[in-house]
Every structure is written in structure tokens, then in C-alpha cells.
Chains A and B, each alone.
Chain A
Amino acid sequence: MPLYRDEAVVLRVQKLGEADRIVTLLTRKHGRVRAVGKGVRRTTSKFGASLEPGSHIEVQLHSRMPDGAHPPGSQRGLDLVTQTESLGAYGAQLASDYSRWTAVSAICETTERLTEEGEPALRLYLLIVGALRALVERVHPSGLILDAFLIRAMSNAGWEPALTECAKCSAPGPHTAFNVPAGGAMCENCRPTGSARPQRESVELMVALLGGDWTAADASNEPARRETSGLVAAHLQWHLERGLRSLPLVDRS
């Protein structure tokens, strides 16, 4: 399989040498792929703006290594980007909107951290494409789109916070205690000391974001949104080994 085509979202770009770039892609069928874009940083590059973070592209890649040539765990060689076609320059459309741009960064970094090289992650792929498109279409506040993405991505990773029933004994809620290490909402019997006491509206907002109930989410109030962002971020950081660098830099103004 020296040449292959796929759809992809550009998650991260890094400078390489004089004018090249290493791009980290989440492809639809081939999972996360790291590849070199030759000459991308020259202003005459044929790739134009397609190899920028947040771009949705159709890409042709040249695999440097035939399948199975690597012992498990060894570092895979970098593929080479040979052709791109833009399906949506979402990142480029959002770079002039600082709040939305920082949300794109957090979405891309989370996606990178929740995927493995070469392992297809179709649901997450569809989630990120949907989130980027929603940011561009501006039908919802960017903070809500980001938190909806994060909570669904966590759910997809098996870390869905308990919201409507107790995280420990499954007693039906609503519960007023919330404990991140314990897995979410907790009943009065199970709640460890020091658990948070979020407003009822915040837990309801998380339910709405998880279930895609945008009517309810858009109707939420500002304090609930702020608290939800905090809880979602805390829940995500708890499950990731290292903290996300972009999340504290998200502009929520």
C-alpha cells in the first residue's frame, strides 16, 4: 500500500527543517497518521492552506513503510503527503475569531490525545468534523460546542461522567453532589467528603450537551455554562495522563 487516499482532519502542524511541515492527521479510515508536507511553508506551496490545523481535507499519502514491516511498538516512519483537496478550511475560517480559534485548538489537541497512530476512530472522526463545522456555522456559542465535543469524546473513550444516576450505586437522580475521581454525580450515601455541589442547571446542561439537545443547551444561563466548562475540563484532565495545554488557553469571553 504505497499510495493511499483518505479523508482527514489536520490536528497539528510542526515546522520541519527549512520549509517543510510535519502534520498530524486524523483520517477517516486509517486512524491517526503523521506525515510530511514538503515545501508547505513556502509561499508558493501547492498545498496552500490545506495543511493547516482544523482543515478538513481529502488527502493522498505515500506510505514510507509497507504494512507489517514494523515490529509492534517500534516507531512508524512518517508518510508523505502527495496531494490534498480542501473539503472545508474550518481552521482558516476561524483564525480571525479568537474565541473560536482557541476552541479549535482544544478540540484538535483532545482528538490527538484520544487516538492512537494507525487505529481507526470513526466515531471520534465524525465528532470532530461535526464540531468544526458547527464552529464555522456559528449556530451555537463556541464554548458550548467545545464542551459538547469534549463530553461526547469522553463518552466515546469510555469515560462518560455519570449525570442522571449515582456514579457508584446507580441510584436514580437528580443528585446534588459531583465527584470527578468517583466518576460524576453521586447520591448522598455514596458521596465522598469534598465533593462539588454544582447547580442543578449545570448538570442538566451536561445532559443536554451529551445528548445533543441544543434547544436546552442554547437556553442555559451563563453561570451554568461556566460551571459546566469547569466540570467537563476537570473530568477530562482526570482521565488524561498529562494535562491538555490548550484547554487553559481557551478564550471564553
Chain B
Amino acid sequence: MMYEGAVQDLIDELGRLPGVGPKSAQRIAFYLLASEQVDVERLASTLIRVKNDVKFCSICGNVSESEQCRICTDTRRDPTIICVVEEPKDVLAVERTREFRGRYHVLGGAISPIDGVGPDDLRIRELLVRLRDGVVTELILATDPNLEGEATATYLARMINPMGLTVTRLASGLPVGGDLEYADEVTLGRAFSGRRRVD
């Protein structure tokens, strides 16, 4: 079923969002259509504001309201350890555990050949630049405990191990198949303290 003009355009736009199928797109579109003018305007302006104001930290790739994020500029954080995660939301998950006092590197996803995402599509080059000056001595690979995350960690370990850094992976207390952000704080914290070296 096709609608006319603006309504169909909205359904099409919503349908491009991750996890939103055609039916959900239709449901959201008609929900918005029936909503108060002021509510829709607030949503629209938030969307524009997030795109205009929120940037990505030039060092770690985390979301940030300034050129460099708060973690990268915090001198109390240990500059010798970098925790590599897939998405900005994973930084929050790790921060909640209070187990980690180093800095982060956000890859912007995981290697997934079937989706056309290869190593060059992630912020791997930026990571290598950060490792160049020898300050960093340990790299913790905290990609998601699913196959894409595992493959990404394998790729990184293979590339970085010869550089003489200690490369570790979160302990396998995390069940395979999941997203890092769904691990509860205790489990994730335990996975951190029990991290093991990858060769």
C-alpha cells in the first residue's frame, strides 16, 4: 500500500532506520501524524540539534560536544591503556562498571563482510596512529561477544601483537551471541578484571 506525497516520504525515511520494518515505519508515521504539533516540532528540532551540536571526539571517536571528549581530556585517566569498543554506547556500558580507568577507542562498528563492512570502514587507522608514540602499553579488545566482535578482535590482535603491546580480550564470562551493552555491570566488570592476553 502506497500513500501520497509527504506521508509516504515519512514512511520511507523511517523505514531506513535500523530495526524499523515497513509495518513499524507506517505505525510511527501515523502516530506522528496524530501527535500534537508541539511534540513533533520538539522531536524535529532535537534531531537537527543532535546532528549540529554533537560531534565525535577527534581522538577516540566517542560522541562529544566538543572537539575532544571529556574522557580524552581528563588527566586523571590512565593514558597507557586503551579499551577498544564498537559503539559509543559501549563506552557507557564499560564506564558503569567503574572497573576501567584508562581511555577508549570507538571503532564505529565491527567487521562484517556480508554487510560490506571491512577493516577500512572502521576507525582502525586512527587507532594505529594513537599507538605510534609508545605511550600506550595495553590494548583491551572489548568488542561485542558475538561473531563479528570476535572476528574484529582477531583481526586487531593479529595486526597489533607484532607491535609489542599487551593485547587483551575480555574474559569469556560474557555469553556468546550478545551485545556488550546488555551485559550487567557485575558480569562486565568481572570480564574486565579477568581479561586474558591474546597472542
Given contacts A49-B176, A52-B176, contact A105 B158 (CB under 8 A): no
A70 within 8 A of B: no
B181 to chain A, nearest CB (A): 9
B residues 150-167 touching A (CB-CB < 8 Å)? 150-151, 154-155, 158
A157 touches B (CB below 8 Å): no
* B7-15, B34-42, B113-121, B131-139 - the one binding chain A: B113-121
Assess whether B59 is interfacial by the CB under 8 Å rule: no
For chain B, the count of residues having a C-beta within 8 Å of the partner chain is 30
How far is the CB of A110 from the nearest CB of chain B, in Å? 10
Cα–Cα distance between A53 and B154 once the two chains are bound (Å): 17
Query: In whole angstroms, what is the CA distance A92 to B174 when docked?
Result: 14
12 contacts between A and B (CB under 8 A): A15-B18, A43-B175, A43-B184, A44-B175, A45-B177, A92-B147, A92-B176, A98-B154, A98-B155, A102-B113, A249-B113, A249-B118
Complex interface: chain A residues within 8 A of B183 (CB): 43
Q: Which residues in B have their C-beta under 8 angstroms from that of A16? A: 19, 21
Given A44-B175, A105-B113, 6 other A-B contacts at CB below 8 A? A41-B182, A43-B182, A92-B147, A95-B150, A101-B154, A249-B118
Closest 9 CB pairs of A and B: A245-B116, A246-B113, A43-B178, A105-B113, A95-B150, A49-B176, A249-B113, A249-B118, A95-B147
How long is the Cα–Cα vector from A48 to B177 in the complex, in angstroms?
Answer: 6
Does any Cβ of B come within 8 Å of A12's Cβ? yes
B116 neighbours in A (Cβ, 8 Å): 245-246, 249
B176 contacts A96, C-beta separation under 8 Å: no
- For B22, the chain A residues whose CB sits under 8 A away are 75
Q: Are A45 and B115 in contact (CB under 8 A)?
A: no
Q: How far apart sit A44 and B176, CA to CA, in the bound complex (Å)?
A: 9
* A105 cross-chain contacts in B, Cβ below 8 A: 112-114
CB distance from A10 to the nearest CB of B (A): 10
Q: Check B150–A96 contact: CB distance below 8 A.
A: yes
CB neighbours (8 Å) of A52 from chain B are 146-147, 176-177
Complexed CA–CA distance, A114 and B197 (Å): 41
Which residues on the A side are within 8 Å of B193 (C-beta)?
none
Within 8 A of B (CB), among A127-164: none
Asked if residues B178 and A108 are in contact (CB atoms below 8 Å), the reply is no
**Residue interface mask A96-111, B partner, CB < 8 A = 1:** 1110011001101100
Report Cα–Cα, A49/B71, bound state, in Å.
34
Q: Which of A50, A92, A98: most chain B CB closer than 10 A? A: A98
Write out the residue numbers on chain A whose beta carbons fall within 8 Å of the beta carbon of B189: none
Q: Does A95 lie within 8 Å of B113, measured CB to CB?
A: no
CB proximity of B195 to chain A, nearest CB, Å: 16
B88 within 8 A of A: no
Specify the chain A residue showing the minimal Cβ separation from B175: A43
Chain A residue nearest to B149 (CB atoms) is A95
Q: In the complex, what residues of B have CB within 8 A of residue A108's CB?
A: 114
Chain A contacts with B in 9-41, Cβ cutoff 8 A:
12, 15-17, 19, 40-41
**Does A51 have its Cβ within 8 Å of any Cβ on chain B?**
yes
Residue A125 CB within 8 A of the other chain:
no
A184: CB under 8 A from chain B?
no
Chain A residues near B66 (CB-CB < 8 A)? none
Query: B115: which A residues are within 8 A, CB to CB?
Result: 245
Q: Check if A53 sits within 8 Å of B177, measured CB to CB.
A: no
Bound-complex Cα distance A16 to B21 (A): 9
| Min distance, Cβ B142 to any Cβ of chain A, angstroms | 14
Give the residues in chain A near B184, CB-CB below 8 Å: 43
Task: Tell me, rounded to whole Å, the shortest Cβ–Cβ distance linking A15 to chain B.
Answer: 6
A48 x B176 contact (CB < 8 A): yes
Q: Contact check, B182 vs A19: say whether CB atoms are below 8 A apart.
A: yes
A178 in contact (CB, < 8 A): no
- Bound state CA distance, A19 and B144, in angstroms? 13
Q: Which residues of B contact A40 (CB under 8 A)?
A: 177
Contact at B147–A91, with CB atoms within 8 Å?
Answer: yes
